[in-house]
A and B are shown apart, each in its own frame.
Chain A
Amino acid sequence: MSDSKAMTEAELIERFQSRIDDEQKIEPKDWMPEGYRKNLIRQISQHAHSEVIGMQPEGNWITRAPTLRRKAILLAKVQDEGGHGLYLYSAAETLGVSREELIAALQSGEAKYASIFNYPTLTWADIGAIGWLVDGAAIVNQVSLQRTSYGPYARGMVRICKEESFHQRQGYEIMLALSRGNEAQRAMAQDSINRFWWPSLMMFGPHDAESAHSGQSMKWKIKRQSNDELRQKFVDQTVKQVEVLDMTLPDPDLKWNEGRGHYDFGEIDWEEFKRSMSGGGPCSRQRVAHHVKAHEEGAWVREALRAYQKKQKSQADKAAA
């Protein structure tokens, strides 16, 4: 690379960073460093895949929801998650990657998704716990991302946050109904909290010091708050909600710290987190296999659609000629 080229690149980077520092949004046609683009594609696609894979554990209860009202709400919620996946795939596409490439990366295991969805939904209470804890954790993260530096991602987050807060309420409402129910229902709810609590805390990712992408992401304002800050915020807000349910969180170290003004909590089992992130969670193989199966079963439909559109186009061209 020549000196003048290097200078230009350096100047571009400097200008880019000053726009970021100045809180300007970066738009698809703006110049951006390759690392910024890659980092965003990684983060947005991981987010999109989480929405799409998350449809499976919740969808697992659509046909078994205990009332028609709950069924309609759950179906609409799972549909919303799919819609979030779509916005996010579109946001990723503005960075020059195709949906096909993104899906291929998900199916090969190259792209990640939230490890929480690698846990099974065994009872109806799990639908409550996911809505409340998992969507609750997601909102804490997404509210922060409404201020992310990339315009399409930030705008997508604004839309998504509105729907997620409705999802969290429906989840909490399920837990509330169970908490006011009989002994079996209360036990079902508590068991679900016990199983989903730690995986929910893992959703915020590794400790700041261990997080591979965090430093650069914060500098570029792709991320606005650190993993540990967001996790703390989530713990603080959730403890109060658990008290209303008259249930407990499965953490003997959880206690209010007057000095910090926050709850202290125990250490996450990071071995479990790593295992789950790298395809070793209880349902990891099942989730990806399901996605592959549906995709393969639909191949002939997508092919038919393309063939039909091509025929329509050639007929229209003939008519125009």
Chain B
Amino acid sequence: MTRIAIENPVEMYAVRLGDDALVLGHRLSEWSSNAPFLEEDLALSNVALDYIGRARMFYTYAGQLRNDGTTEDDYAYLRDCRDYYNLLIHELPRGDFAFSMARQYLVDVFNLAYLAELQQSRDESLAAIAGKAVKESTYHLRRSNDWIMRLGQGTRESLRRLQDAVVELWGFTPELFAMDALEIDLLAQGIAVDRAALRDSWDRQVRATLEAAGVTMPEPDWQVDGGRQGVHTEHLGHLLGELQFVQRAYPGLEW
């Protein structure tokens, strides 16, 4: 199999955003038939569907930029771990319900601000995808924000689980705001979003909510990154092993 080499920076940007969406969508989809009650099972599937839909739009656009017939499925199914560029927070295993909800909340606050900015992109296709996604994220945040309050102010156990989740996730959040040469360059062209600029307001909002919920904010004394360079946690390889199984076992067929 030939590797999908990505040279066009806009294609790479779209693939990065697609990877973030697909990998998180995969984790969310793992809740199907595993949620605490049926209504929540359906709601988590809804959010998963939004993310998978988002991934498909970003990949499809990336393929159009290549103009060589590369499809959404080629990006999703035919790249190995080192050629996946999602931010690490998205690939962490779903954990318990508090972990999944805490991650979702942290990511939802980020995504809502990010997508609002991406709507202003000079790249019309990216702006259009963001326009659709921002509506979904508004709803996602309303949900995850509610859950943070319920878990924080529910029982001692739910607060403890929420607290543990925030501690485990915290070191993965700085990567959300890390700009690299590619995105700095695309920012200068009016295409990419300045992630670094979103940090202060994200930080204020997240702290205010988590503290109101009763969470003690962790000290920012560790951080892990590397997703944009394809240096992942060990979890991603297993996720891809599952995601790509059929395409790898029966290559080159129509399904």
Contacts and interface: CB of A to CB of B under 8 A. Distances in A.
Interface in B33-64: 33-42, 45-46, 48-49, 52-53, 55-56, 59
A301 B26 CA distance: 22
Contact of B38 (A59, A70, A86, A185): A86
Interface stretch (A11-19, A20-28, A77-85, A260-268): A77-85
A302 interface: yes
Q: Which label, helix, strand, loop or mixed, suits the secondary structure of the B interface?
A: helix
A83 B42 contact: yes
Categorize the interface residue count of chain A: 35 or more
B159 to A, nearest CB: 8
Contact of A52 (B36, B38, B150): B38
Categorize the interface residue count of chain B: 35 or more
A295 B41 CA distance: 11
B41 A68 contact: no
B45 A311 contact: no
A182 B73 CA distance: 19
A76 B46 CA distance: 8
Interface stretch (B113-121, B130-138, B199-207, B246-254): B246-254
Q: Which label, helix, strand, loop or mixed, suits the secondary structure of the A interface?
A: helix
Given A63-B26, A68-B55, A177-B254, A302 B36 contact: yes
Nearest to B98: A301
A180 B247 CA distance: 17
Nearest to A69: B56
Interface of B: 22, 26, 29-30, 32-42, 45-46, 48-49, 52-53, 55-56, 59, 72-73, 76-77, 96-97, 149-151, 153-155, 157-158, 161, 242-243, 245-247, 250, 253-255
Interface of A: 52, 55-56, 59, 62-72, 75-76, 78-79, 82-83, 85-86, 89, 124, 174, 177-178, 180-182, 184-185, 290-291, 294-295, 297-305, 307-308, 311
Given A79-B46, A124-B246, 8 more contacts: A52-B38, A59-B33, A63-B29, A72-B52, A78-B45, A181-B253, A304-B155, A307-B158
17 contacts: A52-B33, A55-B33, A56-B33, A66-B247, A68-B55, A76-B49, A83-B42, A124-B246, A124-B255, A290-B33, A294-B33, A299-B36, A301-B151, A302-B37, A305-B150, A308-B153, A311-B153
